Amino acid sequence: MAHQAHSYHMVDPSPWPIFGAAAALLTTSGLIMWFHYNSSVLLTLGLISMLLVMLQWWRDIVRESTFQGHHTPTVQKGLRYGMILFITSEAFFFLGFFWAFFHSSLAPTPELGGQWPPTGIKPLNPMEVPLLNTAILLASGVTVTWAHHSITEGNRKHAIHALTLTILLGFYFTALQAMEYHEAPFSIADSVYGSTFFVATGFHGLHVIIGSSFLTVCLFRLIKFHFTSDHHFGFEAAAWYWHFVDVIWLFLYMTIYWWGS
Amino acid sequence: GSYEFMSWKKKSGGFCFPHKGLKPIVSTESPALIFGTTTKLASDLPATDSFLGKNKVPDLQKIFQKADGLPVHLKRGVPDRLLYRTTMALTIGGTIYCLVALYMASQPRNQK
């Protein structure tokens, strides 16, 4: 019987990387066809194939770990490094948008009326819905930590309750932000104020949706007994990502919403 | 290394990888739970045993550890094959459509 003499995971040949690359091609060229030639066929194809690839690739990782046992401590260490590096890259992504915000707001041009917020812009009151959103995300950070402790203590009921609460708080945030976007007196086209506001908060909102989805998958897996009290890295990765989303919001709130109003 | 693309090739040396493509592994032991009994399984707790369903992980572990030579993305048989073929059809078909569309878009417009 053949056995490997190391603790790494040599994966089975998989079609998902190349199909994922093709999906990226279809999505990007689909955007071009949509922008310039008013056709959304390619874009739709791209997004659907992207979704299919993600579903099957991550499904296979669950199979390889929970059902086939390939995730040794060595493999898990690599996954931890990977997730940390990915989150770090996302931090740099947001750094760019914060840079853009400060570039325009620290030295407002004459076209803006030499002031920030620019002349005619009525910014959102940071003490109203944005403050509630801050409380919501902070609370969700508490509930996700509660969920983690419940998992390590083997308390299935509490873990499910706490994780469900976290996800519900995430949905509440998204719903409130959607309402804010709809009700805002300014749009993305309203000078560089609108651009920086909606691009930065918009990408954040997208990350909240991604984080909520990741947590939802974890809830599903938690209910299906995939996690044990000392091996539940998928959950930890989701929790790290969620804390990251919370931190980005805190920076957004303090700079764009509060200082920038 | 080169294993990712040619894992079915026989590797000489001190150790061999399981040759799932050529030589099905003969299982000498029944698949046991991967996670040892030292960790607390959620199903170990008496009071919450049947809270939202029962633990089917051991059954799934049996299915996915069957020595049938199938790669993990096709291990479940028909549903896996269907999804795989659908994904392949959409991506490969889409790529061809994309190349045609980009070729046409790159043709110069004759007016202006």
Closest CA to B23 of B71, B81, B69, B83: B69
Q: Kindly list the domain boundaries of chain A, sorted by start residue.
A: 1-69, 71-255
pLDDT at residue number A213: 97
- Among chain B residues, CA nearest to A58: B73
A215-251 as b/e: b if 16+ CB within 10 A: bbbbbebbbbbbbbbebbbbbbbbbbbbbbbbebbee
Determine, for residues A4 and B18 on separate chains, whether the beta-carbon distance falls below 8 Å.
yes
User: Which CATH code for domain A71-255?
Assistant: 1.20.120.80
Question: To which H or E segment does residue B9 belong?
Answer: none
Work out the angle at residue A82's Cα, subtended by the Cα atoms of residues A78 and A87, and round it to the nearest 5 degrees: 150
For domain A1-69, the CATH class is mainly alpha
Residues of chain B positioned with their CB less than 8 A from the CB of A3: 15-16, 18
Q: Given pLDDT bands bounded at 50, 70 and 90, which one contains residue B49?
A: low
- Whether complex ipTM tops 0.85: yes
pLDDT in tens, A123-167: 999 999 999 999 999 999 999 999 999 999 999 999 999 999 999
Interface subset of B 16-75, CB within 8 angstroms of A: 16-20, 23, 25-26, 28, 34-35, 39-45, 48, 51-53, 55-57, 60-61, 63-65, 71-73, 75
Separation in Å, CA B16 to CA A60, A75, B6: 23, 19, 13
pLDDT in tens, B88-101: 999 999 999 999 99
Query: Do the beta carbons of residue B39 and residue A231 sit within 8 Å?
Result: yes
For chain A, give the percent of residues with pLDDT over 70.
99
pLDDT in tens, A27-57: 999 999 999 999 999 999 999 999 999 999 9
Determine, for residues B65 and A22 on separate chains, whether the beta-carbon distance falls below 8 Å.
no
Query: Do the beta carbons of residue A192 and residue A115 sit within 8 Å?
Result: no
Residues of chain B positioned with their CB less than 8 A from the CB of A42: 94, 97-98, 101
pLDDT at residue number B23: 40
For chain A, give the percent of residues with pLDDT over 90.
98
Nearest to A60 among B40, B56, B72 (CB): B72
